[in-house]
Chain A
Amino acid sequence: MNHPQPPETSPEPLAPGQRLPESEVKEFSPEALAEIQAIMARYPDKLAATLPALHIAQREFGFISLSAMRAVAKAIGIPEGHVFGVATFYTMYQKAPVGRYHFQVCTNISCALKGAAQLLEKVCEKTGVKPGQGPSPDGMWSVEEVECLAGCSMGPCIQVNHDVYDELVDEQKLVEVMEACKRGEYRPWAH
């Protein structure tokens, strides 16, 4: 494929025409490659492995960079353009680096009625990062505003990496969760 490369995603907005240098080529570990091969064999069509492979790439590389998308396309043997399209369609594939602990705060209607807007502001204040602004300088935190996490009755709820906290998260609970993150008690983002 010879068409011009789109810019690598970056937390800083790029000026028009500005291109970032090509990042290093990402390679899957042999275990991850074997996992992708096994997934491809399970489906009637290898294209169906796109979503699972992107999940594996996110686990391996931390976020879905352009080079990660290329690695996925190469591993499955499908056009790169298809993987770009899929990766940018779904919101769970992070196109920019996230912190070691990624806070997803639901602010949809049920949680909002219980104070999710105020919780999101609290999370931003405690972690010192704003939604969509990339990780904090020490790489620990990042914050994202998300849609319904299906914990409506127990909201406001947040999800930290892969664990959901739906027990009426208030400021005290938030501090507890953040302390536990600092002690390393939860599954890290890339595991």
Chain B
Amino acid sequence: MVAIRTKPDPQTYTFPGFGTEKFPNLMLRGAGDLDNWHLKVYEQKHEGYAALKKALKMEPVAVTEEVKASGLRGRGGAGFPAGLKWSFMPKDTPERKFTRYLVCNGDEGEPGTFKDRVILEYNPHQLIEGMIIGGWAMQCQLGFVYIRGEFLWLIEKLEAAIQQARDAGYLGKNIMGTGWDYDILVHRGAGAYICGEETALLNSLEGRRGEPRVKPPFPAAKGAFGQPTTINNVETLAAVPPILRMGGAEYAKIGSPKNSGTRIFGVSGHVKRPGIYELPMGTPLNFLVEELAGGSGTGRKIKAIIPGGASCPMLDEKDFDVPMDFDNLKARGSMGGSGGVIVMDEDTCIVQATLRLIRFYAHESCGQCTPCREGCNWMEMILHRIEHGQGRMEDLDLLAGLTPRIGMRTLCPLGDAACGPMDSALQKFRHEFEHHILHKTCYAKGARLLSSVGAH
């Protein structure tokens, strides 16, 4: 049974000036239009599959070079240059032929992030085209799209779109007369945030528990089913067709130095117009929050912003002018992450917000590495007791002493991700924690963030 969503969603995907040279529209073409996912619409209105036709006439190595020239950095969180990642894949030699896989990471689970969902909903063919181009560049035999299990309706839509591409001859045997065979499989996850980590995703794809692997060997040497594999985010792969269409050098001119291109930012929380905004990298945070999202929606001052999804350290007022790209955010002590901007106003209790985030990491830790499994749980328990008026002043030093024992001591970055919000909250809003301990009540006067009925 195929259920294609017919219910429009309540958000807008555009703003005045969007689609002009200053704010190019590369990823959100046709967003908001529920019929946009059809192959015909994509081909007629959005230069669909033009990039693929161009790429198939080029040498695979030349396609990788083009992506390298574009300076595209991975949109999943780490910001690793995509072209460089592609070039790590081993090439066939006369002695040895490889089976290579391309995996698309659509396990969008980071709280505050909802960009991949928009691409899958309105522009699945751009992702499929990007996956075919990536497959050609690395000469892969099979592509996998790993999508979180909750997105059942998007999986059905993507499968229908892939079938359209198959019927049009863009997938299957001997694609467009090149003699190259390639197909895409959709794999449904089952609700585990950790599967967004690339090696955990590979384990999940192979039918195992989603536990990250020891690296090395890196996936480019030994990935899915023991074969060389490249894993890219949905947004990274969907950015490939525009790069091929306009040329890598042209794409590199968009955005800020070393952080080229556009990025989809999702704004949520206490703003007037929460939603999806595609902006060139390096756009200042306060332009996004104040101008586009309309500033505080509650009439109260904005206190803290998480600039790139829940794992990124919070920013306070003095950093609201930061240009939103990987390097600038890193310089301010935060991260580019996955582009989910969470805005909190003055009345938000930071202790509750931190507890909610740490509870998430404690719940989602796969349990493999002791620092993360135990550390996140202890942080949750200590925060819980502070929140419930049983905290002690030395708890704050205990928390501050815990994070260096978790961060960088685990196989995957989930432990580090839990430390980001914890450390930054403690550094920037220590007075709220102290108020909680001394007065046994919140410093802020806003609504509760934690429900009184049971947790997981």
Contacts and interface: CB of A to CB of B under 8 A. Distances in A.
A113 B344 contact: yes
A102 to B, nearest CB: 12
Contacts of A163: 153
Given A154-B9, A155-B268, A147 B193 contact: yes
A153 B276 contact: yes
A112 interface: yes
Q: Which of B193, B310, B366 has the most CB of A within 10 A?
A: B310
Contacts of A121: 451-453
Nearest to B345: A113
Given A51-B190, A108-B360, A124-B453, A153 B206 contact: no
A82 B209 CA distance: 9
Given A115-B447, A148-B112, A48 B206 contact: yes
Interface stretch (A16-24, A87-95, A134-142): A87-95
A109 B353 contact: yes
Nearest to A120: B451
A93 B268 contact: no
B179 interface: no
B114 interface: yes
Contacts of A187: 1, 3
B206 A55 contact: no
Interface string B207-230: 111100000000000000101000
B19 to A, nearest CB: 20
A45 B225 contact: yes
B9 A167 contact: yes
Contacts of A183: none
Interface residues of A, number: 58
A120 B449 CA distance: 11
A77 to B, nearest CB: 12
B111 interface: yes
Contact of B356 (A108, A131, A155): A108
B44 to A, nearest CB: 29
Contacts of A159: 150
B191 A92 contact: yes
Interface in A10-49: 42-45, 47-49
A74 interface: no
Interface in B141-200: 142, 148-153, 185, 187-193
B11 interface: yes
A95 B142 CA distance: 33
Contact of A131 (B10, B108, B270, B455): B455
A54 B344 CA distance: 39
A117 B450 contact: yes
B209 A118 contact: no
A173 B416 CA distance: 38
B357 interface: yes
Contact of A48 (B205, B348, B447, B453): B205
B111 A108 contact: yes
Given A86-B208, A115-B447, A168-B10, A147 B152 contact: no
Nearest to B99: A44
Contacts of B315: none
A117 B451 contact: yes
A191 B267 CA distance: 35
Contacts of A191: 1
Contact of B207 (A49, A91, A120): A49
B206 A109 contact: no
Contact of B190 (A93, A147, A167): A93
A47 B208 contact: yes
Interface string A140-183: 00000111111111110001001110111000000000000000
8 contacts: A43-B225, A51-B207, A92-B189, A110-B111, A131-B456, A147-B364, A148-B310, A150-B113
**Nearest 7 pairs of A and B residues by beta carbon:** A92-B191, A50-B207, A90-B190, A117-B451, A153-B274, A152-B268, A110-B268
